[in-house]
Amino acid sequence: MLANSGASKLAQVLIERIATQTQKADVLELGTIQSDMSLKLDRFSVPIPQGEYLVAEWLVKLEIPFFEAKATQTGLKDSTGGDVTGEANFSFQPANIDKVKLNFKADLKAGDRVLVAWVNDNTDPVVICKVVSS
């Protein structure tokens, strides 16, 4: 996909040189998102421009347990069409929701530390997730 971009070609050359010196290049490394949303890797000083790296999206199954909540409700009508307002208690039954999408890309911002995986013979960098201190 991004294998022919200039940044990918440069990254491939660097990976090949590192591999020659260490006999095995890292597949994962750390980087930082820059103010222009480019990706600067810890081991290379030239940032990869936004659009020349990929960002992982995660699909999950959300499981919601039984819970109760007290809330203010509006919009209900009585049998004569009059408004019913006030506090109400709600009980939610357990449910499983398939194909919930967690979009990490929307939350990436300048200064974020990220974990980057190299795929497609180490030509395409993929931001896997944010990395934070423990």
Are residues 131 and 107 part of one domain? yes
pLDDT tens digit string along 73-82?
888 888 999 8
Domain containing 51 — which CATH number? 2.40.50.140
Higher per-residue pLDDT: 3 or 74: 74
Task: Using the Cα atoms of residue 48, residue 50, residue 52 and residue 55 in order, give the sign of their dihedral.
Answer: positive
CA angle 39, 45, 48 (to 5 degrees): 30
**12 and 31 belong to one structural domain:** yes
Q: Is there a single domain that holds both residue 53 and residue 111?
A: yes
Q: Are residues 48 and 6 in the same domain?
A: yes
Instruction: Provide the number of structural domains found in the chain.
Output: 2
Per-residue pLDDT of 18-52, as tens digits, reads 776 565 555 899 999 999 999 999 998 899 999 99
Regarding whether 42 and 84 lie in a shared domain, the answer is: no
Query: Are 22 and 51 in the same domain?
Result: yes
Give CB contacts under 8 A, 24+ apart, made by 39-43.
Answer: 39/114, 39/116, 39/125, 39/127, 41/116, 41/125, 43/14, 43/18
Are 27 and 2 members of one domain?
Answer: yes
The single residue listed with the structure tokens 């971009």 is 5
Residues 68, 52 share a domain: no
Residues 63 and 48 in one domain: no
Q: Are residues 47 and 110 in the same domain?
A: yes
Query: Rounded to the nearest 5°, which phi and psi values hold at 73?
Result: -125, 150
Question: The domain containing residue 46 runs over which residues?
Answer: 1-57+103-134
Give the pLDDT confidence score for residue 105 in this predicted structure: 56
